[in-house]
Amino acid sequence: MDNTKEYAWEVVQFNGTEPAVKDDEIASEWPLTIVLNGDEFATMVCSPMDVADLLTGFLAAEGIIRFQDEITSMSVDEYKGFAYITVNTTLDDSRNDHSKRFIGSCCGKSRQFYFKSDAKTAKTVYSRLSISVEQCYKLMEELQQQSEQFMRTGGVHNAALAEPDGLLAVRTDIGRHNALDKIYGHMLRSRISVKNKLIVFSGRLSSEVLLKISKIGAGIVLSKSAPTDLALRLADDLQITVIGFARGSKMNVYTHPNRIVEANM
């Protein structure tokens, strides 16, 4: 798989009123069509790296598989932009809900939480994990330090699987949801338990993002950006601690603050 992450593009850059020609690094956007058990299933737009993680996590989030072993074969034709996957699960009900969906890299309208797969796979989280305020600040700082592709292009999102003392894995994509699917797929493929884990995230916490956190089973999500009202209502119901605007030495805890050990609430 070609792991090209960005392209050089000639731009005219202005510093004040003075123009200069330079090469700018641009994030790669790659359409990928999934053919599942011989039938076209969905087309997504993604970044062309960690594709096996992405495909595995996507199928798990959509309720097609629960375990890595349920994928019996996977191959990617990177030239044509097709992924051919065979699973040993029953697809009769799921195929009608998902077939030939287009999933854009821009987040929000391209997906809905009303799909039957969300109702089937979203779950209440009973995690007993706790974390200190100082650990939250350090985790966000660590994610920022590892966000090299964002620093070069400004066009990607980052998601990380973490323990309170540090990041375990970081995945990058032009789509917020894809970055989370890559984390989920990495966990399944590496047989990593979600126990005592949280998600550290660079993007806005929408209802779609919150539902993916629920499907992963993480009890805490930490982001440098804002949540939406629907995401917070879902988080409240699903018992997920939402931390937003984690920047420098400030952050907001929106739901279930009992997991923040310094919070006297």
What spatial distance separates the first Cα and last Cα of the chain, rounded to whole Å?
49
**Cβ atoms of residues 57 and 188 within 8 Å:** yes
Residue 104: the pLDDT is 55
Q: Which residues are annotated as a binding site?
A: 245-250
Burial class (CB in 10 A: 0-12, 13-18, 19+), 55: buried
Number of C-beta neighbours around residue 166 at 10 A: 11
- The C-alpha atoms of residue 167 and residue 169 are separated, in whole angstroms, by 6
Look up residue 147 and give its two tokens: 């966000």
Number of H helices, E strands in the chain: 8, 13
pTM comes to 0.84
Residue 166's Cα: distance from chain center in Å? 18
**Cβ atoms of residues 212 and 157 within 8 Å:** no
DSSP conformational letter for 105:
S
Residue 113: the pLDDT is 42
Q: Where are the domains of the chain?
A: 30-119, 133-259
Q: What is the pLDDT along the chain (265 residues), one digit of tens a residue?
A: 444 455 677 777 788 888 888 887 777 788 999 999 999 999 999 888 999 999 999 999 989 999 999 999 999 998 899 999 999 988 755 445 555 555 555 544 334 444 556 666 778 999 999 999 999 999 999 998 887 665 555 568 999 999 999 999 999 998 889 999 999 999 999 999 999 999 999 989 998 899 999 999 999 999 999 999 989 999 999 999 999 999 999 999 999 999 999 754 5
DSSP conformational letter for 28:
-
The phi, psi pair for 173, rounded to 5°, reads -160, 160
Residue 155: the pLDDT is 63
Provide the annotated active-site residues. 107
Q: Domain 30-119: which topology?
A: Ubiquitin-like (UB roll) (3.10.20)
Length of the chain: 265
Pick the CATH number of 133-259 from 1.20.120.1200, 3.40.140.10, 3.40.50.620, 2.40.420.20: 3.40.140.10
